[in-house]
Structure 1
Amino acid sequence: MTVLAPPRGLSFGEVVANHHAKGELVVQPRMGFADPERMGRGLLATRAARAATVGTITIDSYTRVGDHDAARAALAAGADLNGYPLVDHEPGTTAALLDTVRAGDFPVQIRHGSPDPRRVVRKLLDLGLHATEGGPVSYCLPYSRMPLSAAVDNWRRCCETLALARGPRLEPHLETFGGCMMGQLCPPALLVALSVLEGMFFWRHGVRCISFSYAQGTHAGQDEEAVAALHALIREYVPHARTHVVIYNYMGVYPRTPGGALALLAESARLAARTGASRLIVKTTAEAHRVPTVTENVTALEHAAEAALGVSPIGHLGDTGIHAQAKALVDNVLSLDNDLGRALVTAFARGQLDVPFCLHPDNAGRARGRLDPSGRLEWQRIGAMPLGDLVDLPADRRMTSSGLLDALRYVERSFDDRYGMPGIETVQLIQGSGT
């Protein structure tokens, strides 16, 4: 492998750990632009934000699905893509971009969404980068029709490629996306279990620096319990890895008003700070309307960092069974096969892992989640998952189309109704960074 740009500074995991040790929440955008100059400006603005930040280059959709001919044609035509075509830009162009932004304490992570990221992983390593994210389940079932067995094999190869790149100045980093499946209406025990299982998969195939994701849900107290369960299971199942937890700002239907969007972002930042998470993936006030600008991303980063300041860790937590449910799902998968990849395929084939509302052919689709009157996500149906002795199912297990739509918009409406008329401070915050 020819490295065009050598690794520079600390590894991704080291940077996040150093900020965490100082009590700083690392905040990160999901930014991706096709134009190298604009992408470079976005990374420089992220680095200069009044916050502890790391950089992001998000890949375009053609590259995600492996349609490199379309990506090259779009570049030749000057078309505006929805991300950065890392594989198909000239290597020298991307190397020059990275030379302007990378610093010892500002690593850049590649985010992609692909069930087959082998070319992406090879390219990022050739460019001297070392951090990416995804997983064999979480980047297959929601985003593709690729057989799960093929995605598992692709991700095994990617993990091995990253592991082989380890060196004295480079510690590759992988972030699970398993805690974010489908964005909404997936009860937290399954998110926690999938995040842990994907992290274990990375570890078994040689990756030693891993972050575990969890997406902010519909109820703050339930999220606190879920993140505590995630920490506990990481300690139990991946005790020797260098790890941290990353929270995602709510992944479902987002508030449409600036006040609602900023309030939801602040709540996710406080969730991360209360639960000992080290990093937060942010969204912006433009999320419900269009692709955000660089300025809107910086405003979101700074707003989240400020919201996390001075937040005390939580003490005693209630126990509604999230840890027990997640552990039961993990243990069941581990009992199916010594090879974790085959075990994951078997578990989905038998419906013993089953993602609500996921239409992938390899997902059984018999499980359902719903909101209770307090806004907590609970199981409406569990299908064949081994949770029968751990879950009290409702008597009425039907879901109407209107009930589904109401549940999908619960967070959006809750925050817009409460915060939809921003006060003077919010207006100043939105306007203060320019346009």
Structure 2
Amino acid sequence: MTGAGFGGFVRRAHDAGQLVVQPRMGMSEPARMRAGLLATRDAAATTVGTLTLDSYTRVGDLESAELALLEGVSLNGYPLVSHTEDTTRQVLDGIRGQHFPVQVRHGSAAPQDIFRALLAVGLDASEGGPVSYCLPYGRVPLRESMANWSASCDILASLRETGAEPHLETFGGCVLGQLCPPSLLVAVSALEALFFYRHGIRSISASYAQQTNARQDAEAVAALRSLCGELLPDAEWHVVVYAYMGLYPETPQGAYRLLGQAAELAVASGSERLIVKTVAESRRIPEVGENVAALEYAASVAARTERAPRPGTGSQTYAEASALVNAVLEMDDDLGQALLGAFALGYLDVPYCLHPDNAGLSRSYIDADGRLGWSDIGRMPLSGIAEVRPSRGITSSGLIASLSYIRRSFDTESGAGAADGIGVGA
């Protein structure tokens, strides 16, 4: 049912020349959540709404979520499973619709209850993935996450029997999205998109998080678009860019400059949607007004940026990502089993990720221009493909310096100038 639901809304906006912008937003109090959705809908931008869930719900600690509601304790998100269906319907009433779809964002390695709850209140869009909502967030075994996500995709796909078109967004392009060379982000995002597809989902978005070099980001998004075109030939898909996920600039001018580059990347690369960040990100959870300001600023930058998609298949990022994807697909016809095998053998290996199911042999570095590269590929099938620059090992101070690269670059006049100089189209 192409053109329906969340994905159809984004496609129509893109065809009309508009970038869809979206906040991360979740409040436990229904009245505040409704007010946040209204403010998002009424912003001077083409927007979609977000129900971001609380951390108790994310890890399945529903007893604590329910206790917090009983005691009137505010949570760091909306406890969708613990609120009554009538309560959530009242939050959405008159707001959510074909002109303003709402997505549930959660962070769970076991989202079955979340998916059942969102379907029960008439929602049809969510996000995550069996790898990306497992490795960075805890110690849930990857095999359990794979089984949970298989069941969850089946729950969501069942909605197609009613004529609706459920939508899933990969989080793979953001998996430990700091100090992770883009080729691995692109590969995991593409593989999670294919995982959704093989479980019956036909409206899909593939994510990519802004990294430390804008030219490399443009190359990565082009590679991701090419891989999605190859892997999802008859699906309705789009690409969503995330504003930088790491340590955010502390100054307003630095934060806006970085968000502006994210909007430029999204539009210039032909991407259809952008998840924004705000001036408050370095200090606290943003307020509704700060989210609206970020949405409107990103939309204003997008409006004056021209689309300039790059060829997707001739780059170093594409060569590496394609090699990783093909190596996984050759392991097993069952993609879930193939992903498990790939991590067990170290064919996929996230730098600096401490999860027990991650090999932990790969390492990366940031060069003088901000490009992310490999200093050790471990057992990943990238020999002769990736340029590897061996290092003597990274110290704790070196790791902290790398993690704060963007903050320093955008908060200092000299550094901000250097960062601006690597902008899309420069």
Q: Residue in 2 aligned with 1:361?
A: 356
* Aligned equivalent of 2:199, options 195, 200, 205: 205
Q: Residue in 2 aligned with 1:97?
A: 91
1:263 aligns with 2:265: no
1:373 aligns with 2:368: yes
Question: 3-state SS of the aligned residue for 1:336?
Answer: coil
1:306 aligns with 2:300: yes
1:391 aligns with 2:386: yes
User: What amino acid maps onto 2:382 in structure 1?
Assistant: L
1:74 aligns with 2:68: yes
Alignment of 1:62-141 (within 5 A): 62-141=56-135
Q: Deviations over 1:70-118 (max 9, x none)?
A: 0000111111100000000111111111113213210100000000000
1:278 aligns with 2:272: yes
Q: Residue in 1 aligned with 2:316?
A: 321
Tell me the distance in 1 between the aligned counterparts of 2:415 and 2:215: 23
Question: 3-state SS of the aligned residue for 2:364?
Answer: strand
Q: Deviations over 1:342-377 (max 9, x none)?
A: 110010011110001111110011111110111100
Alignment of 1:287-306 (within 5 A): 287-306=281-300
Tell me the distance in 1 between the aligned counterparts of 2:309 and 2:56: 46
Question: 3-state SS of the aligned residue for 2:330?
Answer: helix
1:350 aligns with 2:345: yes
Q: Residue in 1 aligned with 2:216?
A: 222
Tell me the distance in 2 between the aligned counterparts of 1:309 and 1:96: 34
Q: Unmatched 5+ residue regions in structure 2?
A: 417-426
Distance 1:315 1:114, change over 3 A: closer
User: What amino acid maps onto 2:251 in structure 1?
Assistant: T
Tell whether the 8 Å contact from 1:56 to 1:109 is kept in structure 2 after alignment. yes
Question: 3-state SS of the aligned residue for 2:26?
Answer: coil
User: What amino acid maps onto 2:383 in structure 1?
Assistant: G
Q: What is the CA distance between 1:238 and its match in structure 2?
A: 1.2
* Aligned equivalent of 2:236, options 222, 238, 242: 242
Question: 3-state SS of the aligned residue for 1:71?
Answer: helix
TM-score (norm 2): 0.95
Tell whether the 8 Å contact from 2:6 to 2:167 is kept in structure 1 after alignment. yes
Q: What is the CA distance between 1:162 and its match in structure 2?
A: 1.1
Alignment of 1:416-427 (within 5 A): 416-418=411-413
Tell whether the 8 Å contact from 1:369 to 1:379 is kept in structure 2 after alignment. yes
Tell me the distance in 1 between the aligned counterparts of 2:310 and 2:223: 13
Q: What is the CA distance between 1:312 and its match in structure 2?
A: 1.6
Tell me the distance in 2 between the aligned counterparts of 1:346 and 1:43: 41
Tell whether the 8 Å contact from 2:222 to 2:309 is kept in structure 1 after alignment. no
Q: Deviations over 1:212-248 (max 9, x none)?
A: 0000000000000000000111111111110000000
Tell whether the 8 Å contact from 1:28 to 1:54 is kept in structure 2 after alignment. yes
Tell me the distance in 2 between the aligned counterparts of 1:179 and 1:242: 18
Distance 1:367 1:380, change over 3 A: same
* Aligned equivalent of 2:179, options 179, 185, 197: 185
User: What amino acid maps onto 2:319 in structure 1?
Assistant: A
Q: What is the CA distance between 1:198 and its match in structure 2?
A: 0.2
Tell me the distance in 1 between the aligned counterparts of 2:9 and 2:150: 26
Q: What is the CA distance between 1:311 and its match in structure 2?
A: 1.3
Tell whether the 8 Å contact from 1:40 to 1:100 is kept in structure 2 after alignment. no
Question: 3-state SS of the aligned residue for 1:165?
Answer: helix
* Aligned equivalent of 1:413, options 408, 421, 426: 408
* Aligned equivalent of 2:188, options 172, 183, 194: 194
Q: What is the CA distance between 1:313 and its match in structure 2?
A: 2.1
Q: Residue in 1 aligned with 2:18?
A: 24
User: What amino acid maps onto 2:185 in structure 1?
Assistant: L
Q: What is the CA distance between 1:419 and its match in structure 2?
A: 9.0
Q: Residue in 1 aligned with 2:419?
A: none
Q: Unmatched 5+ residue regions in structure 1?
A: 1-8, 422-435
Tell me the distance in 2 between the aligned counterparts of 1:259 and 1:238: 39
Q: What is the CA distance between 1:391 and its match in structure 2?
A: 1.5
TM-score (norm 1): 0.93
User: What amino acid maps onto 2:191 in structure 1?
Assistant: L
Tell me the distance in 2 between the aligned counterparts of 1:314 and 1:385: 32
User: What amino acid maps onto 1:339 in structure 2?
Assistant: D
Tell me the distance in 2 between the aligned counterparts of 1:413 and 1:126: 45
User: What amino acid maps onto 2:323 in structure 1?
Assistant: A
Question: 3-state SS of the aligned residue for 1:101?
Answer: coil
Tell me the distance in 2 between the aligned counterparts of 1:392 and 1:87: 47
Tell me the distance in 1 between the aligned counterparts of 2:232 and 2:309: 24
User: What amino acid maps onto 1:325 in structure 2?
Assistant: E
Q: What is the CA distance between 1:320 and its match in structure 2?
A: 4.8
